[in-house]
Amino acid sequence: MPVYEYRCTDCSKRFELFVQQRTMSDSVVCRHCHSPKVTRLVSTFASVGATEAGVDSSSASSGCAGCSGGSCGTCGCH
């Protein structure tokens, strides 16, 4: 059962929802204000133990632009 992430266009709150069938996603309402004006977001996912192009991320000497050489914890560069 897929988990979808939504944002309400009325109250701007984000929430996740298990959707059993794709057709059910048409009837999603905001958990916070109960508005039917919601937008499905593109969610990111994490992969445990994966490395990019066979490079061990623990040996990377420079970070991404978002973490300025440190470990931001979101991009996976360290």
Mind giving me the DSSP string for 21-67?
SGGGGGG---TTT--S-EEEE------TT--GGG--GGG-SS--TTT
Q: What is the DSSP letter of 69?
A: T
pTM: 0.50
**What per-residue confidence (pLDDT) applies to 59?**
45
**What per-residue confidence (pLDDT) applies to 8?**
96
How far apart CA 76 and CA 58 sit, in angstroms, is: 10
Query: Which residues of the chain fall below pLDDT 50?
Result: 56-61
